[in-house]
Amino acid sequence: MSILEIIIALPLIAALAVWAGAPARPVSLGATFVNLALVLFATVQYAGKTGLAFTNSRPILENPAMSFAVGADGVSLILALLTTLVMLAAVWQIEDRPDIFHIASLLIGGGALGAFLTTDVFFIYAFHELALIPTFLMIALHGRAEPAQRKAVAWKTTIYLGAGSLVLLAGLAWAVLEFSGGAKLTFDLEALRNQARLTPLPVDKQAQIYFVLLVGFGTLVSLFPFHSWAAPAYATAPTPVAMLHSGVLKKFGLYGLLRIALPLLPQGAQVPWVQNALLLMLLGNILVMGLVTIHAHRLDDTLANSSVMHMGYIFLAFAAGTDIALKGAVLLMFAHGVSIALIFGLCGRMRNQLGTLEYSKLGGLAAHAPAFTVLFAFGVFASIGLPGLTNFAGELMIFAGSFAGFKGTLTHLHWTVILALWGVVMSAVYMLRAYRGIFHGGANTGLFMIDPALSQRVPFILLATTLLVTGCCPWLLLNLMKTAL
């Protein structure tokens, strides 16, 4: 029995217990707290090691070979850490809501942990789907809009993500069929990776499969032009769901590309037509979505669109494929997850207190809520990429790593990096403008809010501290990834 199995099972058991009538808040808080401790323990144990650790495999079928196999390397541990942190914060900030909020949060978090910590393609896929279902249901049932509108948003999300999942399943099945070498089908990721090392596929086939996987995983991460589900979904989703989905679950698509697509199809990503397509799409994320975000009139719109936009940087790292850029991408995945969960959590509080998030109606909120303002500032400055917070380290590594091959002539990749840098400026414009407009200056309509009680500040302080600590000491995370990705 591996510690990872406990980590995966704990939230699911807690969700079942809450459903069966156990007191929701103590059970879910206890489970997420224990889970965070377990993941921290595993991370400390792993520090300094390389390769997969804590492995354990329980075969469920012999041919096609499938097994409930767990195992973690640095990347999965970093993402597990992110999941447990955000899950704890998301569960903690739930106040006076029906039990289903706790159940859904636990299921989404548990599903994400399963997806990050298993090493069998079947279970990686299955756990992600498990996490998606409560997301849809919560948007449809408890979304923050009129019933008809939230149902429409939920269906839009479902159709986009469902279609993305099917494309993904097709790509995964294709890869499994191609790599299983004629005899026996295997879904074991390690076996597939070995096969890819020993007998790589022809380059044009690699490119085709990689592209299918890119579209499948990309839709889940709101890669331009498959992004239009994300903004309404995050603006409508209940707070803990928005925190968990944008902070954690969306990283699944990136994780899949990093763990499945890139190692199995290393040359596919570098084939010119695939790379150029990806560069165009990610510029769409950064520049088009950047401009869209600048024109948003509501805070939740700004945040949702900015979250779509920031995915572009991570895709840039995948397009570049250098070691530094990929490590930067993992760092940024962690940083973005923590910071967006922090801001969405605070944003949900604001909406509960004020009833609106329109910029035209807000102003001068800092006067009565100084602590809230400081916490919000952490999220805002992290998003902009202020040195000292984790996002900066990640973005810097991505930009530097992507530009690394510069030898006098500018390739498409280098042009993209130059254009993408303008995204940082755009983030600064919309985030600072939103921050100044909401918290400083005079009150526009007499709306004001007060600081949350001390106990309700804890989850946000937890996330802000994480940003600060890993921002000042990014080696804490980078040390977990000693080998090249």
| Binding-site ranges for other proteins (CB under 8 A) | 19, 59-64, 68, 100, 122, 125-127, 129-130, 133, 136-137, 140-141, 147, 151, 154, 158, 162-163, 166, 170, 173-174, 176-177, 180, 183-185
- Nearest distance, CB of residue 174 and other proteins, angstroms: 7
Task: Report the nearest approach of other proteins to the CB of residue 180 (Å).
Answer: 7
What distance in Å separates the CA atoms of residue 314 and residue 466, rounded to the nearest whole number?
A: 20
For residue 346, the minimal CB distance to other proteins (Å) is 27
DSSP category for residue 287: I
Cα-based distances in Å from 152 to 141, 149, 155, 221, 233: 11, 5, 5, 20, 10
Cα(224)–Cα(418) distance, rounded to whole angstroms?
19
Q: Which is nearer to other proteins, 7 or 380 (CB)?
A: 7
Q: Which is nearer to other proteins, 128 or 250 (CB)?
A: 128
Closest to other proteins by CB, 141 or 424: 141
Task: Find the helix or strand (DSSP H, E) in which 55 lies.
Answer: strand 53-61
Residue with Cβ nearer other proteins (168 or 279): 168
Which CB, 126 or 458, lies closer to other proteins? 126
| CB neighbour class for 261 (10 Å; exposed up to 12, middle 13-18, buried from 19) | buried
Q: Cβ distance 440 to 366 under 8 Å?
A: yes
Closest alpha carbon to 89 in 322, 443, 349: 349
- Cβ nearer to other proteins, comparing 162 with 263: 162
Which of 19, 33 has the CB closer to other proteins?
19
Beta strands, E only, 303-427: none
Q: How far is the CB of 142 from other proteins (least distance, A)?
A: 8
Report the nearest approach of other proteins to the CB of residue 58 (Å): 8
Which residue carries 């499938």 as its tokens? 66
Which residue, 232 or 452, has its beta carbon nearer to other proteins? 232
User: Nearest 5°: phi and psi at 61?
Assistant: -150, 145
Q: How far is the CB of 104 from other proteins (least distance, A)?
A: 11
Query: Nearest approach, Cβ of 62 to other proteins (angstroms)?
Result: 6
CB of 129 to other proteins, least distance (A): 5
Count of CB atoms situated within 10 Å of the CB of 56: 15
- Nearest distance in Å: CB 285, other proteins: 26
CA gap 259, 251 in Å, rounded: 12
Q: How far is CA 476 from the centre of its chain?
A: 20
If the CB atoms of residues 19 and 448 are measured against other proteins, the closer one turns out to be: 19
User: Do you know the residue count of the chain?
Assistant: 485
The two three-digit tokens of residue 292, written as one number:
């869209």
| Residues near 21 by beta carbon (within 8 Å), at least 6 away in sequence | none
Q: Read out DSSP for 356-378?
A: --BGGG---GGGT-HHHHHHHHH
Sequence-distant (6+) residues with CB within 8 A of 102 are 15, 18, 24, 25, 27, 28, 91, 94
Q: How far is the CB of 139 from other proteins (least distance, A)?
A: 10
Of 32 and 165, nearer to other proteins (C-beta) is 165
Tell me how far apart the alpha carbons of residues 298 and 300 are, in angstroms, rounded to a whole number. Answer: 6
